[in-house]
Structures are given as C-alpha cells and as structure tokens.
Amino acid sequence: MDDATVLKHLTTPDAVARARAIELVLFDVDGVLTDGRLWYFPTSESGLVEVKGFSAHDGIGIGLARRAGLQTGIVTKRRSLSVERRARDLRLNFVHQGVDRKYDALQAIWKESGLGPRQTCAMGDDIVDLPMLEHSGLAAAPANARPEIRAAAHFVSAHSGGEGAARDLIEFILVAKGIWEKTLQQYLTAPESDYAGTAAAEAAR
C-alpha cells in the first residue's frame, strides 16, 4: 500500500495520530461488514432464517489486524446465526449481538480488555452507532454511511459497507502505526494459519 491509496479515504487532520494509538477495532455489522440488506430464507421447520453476505476482503483485513496484535469485535443491534458463524470463523475477540445501547457494550468490552477510549476504534454506518463512535479515540464510517455518522467520523473509507470498508480501515490503522509492511509479510508467510483453529474445530464435530 502506498500514500496514494491512503489518500482515497476521507480523514480529519488528526486521524493518523489517533490511529497510532489504536489497539481495539470494533465494527457494527449491518451496513459495515455487510451491505445492509437482510435476506430471509424458509427453513424445513416452516420458519425463516436470516442470511447475510460478508466481504472476503474484510475477512483478510481482520486476519491482518489479528496478526498485528490488534483485538477485534462486533457490536450489533440484531441477532443472527450468520453473524455468530462469521465471528467464529474470523476469531473475533468480542461478539455482542442484540445490543440496544452500544455505549454500554463498549464499556463492557473496555472492562474485559483492559483498554480504554483512546485505544479504541469503532466503525458504524447509522445513527444507532453514534454513541459508540463518539466515545472512541478513532471514529470510522463506510463511504455510504448516513450523514450524521460521516460528520462524526475521523476516517471515512473509500469503499461502502460490505464492499471492503473494514479492510480500508484496518490498512489505514496499520499504515499509521508503521507496521503495514511487517504485518503483510507475516500474513503472507502463513496465511492459512488464520483459519487453522476453525478448520480443526469443524473437523472434530
């Protein structure tokens, strides 16, 4: 990644300085890790199951974050088995579903992780995410976020939710911290190890 790539994103003057302190990256799900659309399919029990589509680019980005020693997680208002499975595949540190008050979840994560606001980055796309963004050291938004979210963000990605926005954010943080090249080389040395734990667990079932 070069400087020209980074400049495609919209940032506030202090965004790079804020990004250097980040140790924890949290994401909303719908509209950030997905494009915001909800799909419902019938089940054999005459019910419906909610299905979401996730970006493989974002998945690699989260793997890069983990390789760099960052903690990652999701805080979302909805509940979904698709999210539970995706979180397990990506080995997220924190998974909070069914959250009505996202700042409360943020405080719980700080207590568990031992980290605080300055070390936290949160990415959201709609007004329910504002409390989480306003209390984080680095507030981020996908390109298609609502105007209120974009106005509150220090970083607005070049891509929309579900299309690589999370990857944009993670790469921005790693570049700001001066560890992008090192992390990339570490990932390329053993990329499959990111999913080794999940594969072993699935095989044991």
Q: Domain holding 84: CATH number?
A: 3.40.50.1000
Q: Which domain holds residue 55?
A: 11-194
In a domain, 200, yes or no: no
Does a structural domain hold residue 29? yes
Mean pLDDT (the chain, rounded): 88
Domain presence at residue 63: yes
| Assigned domain for 2 exists | no
Whole-number pLDDT of residue 51: 76
pLDDT of residue 37: 80
State which residues of the chain have pLDDT below 50. Answer: 2-7, 195-196, 198-205
Q: Is 5 inside any structural domain?
A: no
Structural domain includes residue 115: yes
Is 201 a member of any domain?
Answer: no
Cβ neighbours, 10 Å, residue 118: 12
Residue 184 lies in a domain: yes
Domains in the chain, number: 1
What pTM was estimated for this model as a whole? 0.86
